[in-house]
Each structure stands twice: as C-alpha cells, then as structure tokens.
Amino acid sequence: MSVIEPGEVATEEPVQHDWPALVDRLNALLRLKTTPVGMKLFETVAAMEAVPRVRRPGAVHTLDQIVAQAARLGWTVGATAEDLVGAQCGAVVGLHPQDASWRSGRAMAGVWFETPEDAAAHQAAMDVVPFGRYTALVVSPLAAGRLDPPDVCLVYATPGQMIILLNGLQWSGYRKFAWGVVGESSCADSWGRALATGEPSLSIPCFAERRYGGVLDDELLLALPPGFLPRAVAGMERLAANGLRYPIPPYGIQADARAGMAASYGGR
C-alpha cells in the first residue's frame, strides 16, 4: 500500500479561504451539477462533534452515502467506524485497522475477483490512511466553511468539466498527472490517495459509489488537498480569457479547423 508515515495524513501548510467565493468562482467556470465538498479527519469524536451543525447518521451507511449526503443534500455529516458498514469504508480513511483479515480481501473473492490471491492483491494496491490516529471524520459542503480547512476537497464533474479543471491545475507549474485504477473500492483512488499522499487524485467512481453514493453515470471524482483548488480556479480563469472554457462548443467534424484554432492561438 502507498502510505505516509504511520498514523498521519499528508497535509500542506494550513490554508484558509473565502470558501463561498471560491466555490462561486468554481461553479461559474464549470457549471457543476453536484456540490463540491470537503472531508476532514479528527483524532477524537468530541472534536468531530464540535463542528457546527454536524449531523450523525441514523443508520449504518457506506462512506459513499456519507459523502453523498453532503454532496447531494448539502448536509454536514460526521461518522465513526461504527457508522460504516463493514471494514472496507473505514480502512480507506484510517478508521478501521488494515489488519490481516482486511488485507486478505476474502469477502471479495468470487464476487469481484476470481481467486483469493486476486482479492488480496487488490487490497494491497489500495491507497489508504494508516490506522491508529483518527477516530472520526466529517464531510461538508465547501461553501459552508465548517471545515476550515478540510483535509481534502472532493469535486464531482463530467469528463468535459474535469479536463478543464485539470488544465487549470496545469496552467502554472506544469506537471504530468498519473493515476491508477484499483477497480472496486475506487474511493481509494480519490480520497484515499489524496489523504495519504497530499496529491490531487482522480478516480472513476466504482459500482458501490454509484449504487450507494448516488454518483451519476457521467461523473468522475477529483480529490485534492485544499491548497490546490484556488490554483486550479485561477488557472481556469486564465484559460477562459484565452477562449478555452467550459462548456466546450463543438466546432464541427467537417469544418475547416484553421479559423477555430486562430481564435485561441492567433498568429502562433
């Protein structure tokens, strides 16, 4: 598993933002259908319960459902391992031990993977937060400003929206992004990897996220530490000034492309 030092989450220096204004700029650029949310881990239940207007689950849920209650309903929701069904959800965010039983993945053998060896290899491939430090988490709409800052921001977007968002991240200080696909339990590819590494992490939401978390058929998920989001928004604003913005209007598959290219590149 790719993790940082035991019991820690990768974080940048604390950053605080005008979250409502930042989300307004993000929505103006991308016209998002789903509310951008933040996720924050807490060492104690008391600290989680001190978050303003936090709700506690009334039933046992997947973590996908907890995230969805923030992203689809606008709630601020706190959870512990006892609120989550099974070990898989809690283990990704460090609320459940990644012990031998979890590492075996035996519940997935014959369901998602052909052999016990395949299931164990899947578990070993997941990016997770080490167990031992955190006991609770909260997910809340970013614009509410109740997690200031969150550990990670979660943005659901269509592929067209997502490529513009990633282009914004690459406007200044360019880098190539490379991600993997763990398959089922792909929350390990998004919030698991972003929490564990401190890096922006893109995922194709899995069957469980769509079945239990209400993730739409055309949505991808980007998890990124909060310091990256203002940079992405500023980059998208610069791209928009060059005519490179969302929605991306189809130019026509048989039209002469030179006039369209000239609109952005000019004499270049």
Residue 38 lies in a domain: yes
Task: Please determine, for residue 3, whether its predicted confidence score (pLDDT) is greater than 60.
Answer: no
Question: Residues 8, 10, 15, 20: what is their CA dihedral angle, to the nearest 10 degrees?
Answer: -100
Three-state DSSP class for 16?
coil
Residue 2 lies in a domain: no
Residue 255 lies in a domain: no
* Helix residue ranges, H only, 63-190: 63-71, 88-92, 100-104, 116-125, 159-170
Residue 5 lies in a domain: no
Residue 267 lies in a domain: no
Whole-angstrom CA distances from 70 to 37, 57, 75 are 7, 12, 4
Task: Please give the tally of structural domains in the chain.
Answer: 1
Q: What's the pLDDT score for residue 2?
A: 37
d(CA 30, CA 45): 36
Three-state DSSP class for 185?
coil
pLDDT digits (tens, 9 = 90+) for 38-61: 999 999 999 999 999 999 999 999
Q: What's the pLDDT score for residue 81?
A: 97
Residue 111 lies in a domain: yes
Task: Please determine, for residue 116, whether its predicted confidence score (pLDDT) is greater than 70.
Answer: yes
Q: Which domain holds residue 40?
A: 19-248
pLDDT digits (tens, 9 = 90+) for 119-177: 999 999 999 999 999 999 999 999 999 998 999 999 999 999 999 999 999 999 999 99
Residue 256 lies in a domain: no
DSSP line for 25-64 = HHHHHH--SS--EEEEEESSHHHHHTSTT-B--SS-B-HH
Per the CB < 8 A criterion, the answer to whether 205 and 213 are in contact is: yes
Residue 66 lies in a domain: yes
Q: Please compute the mean of the pLDDT values over residues 242-259 and round it to a whole number.
A: 92
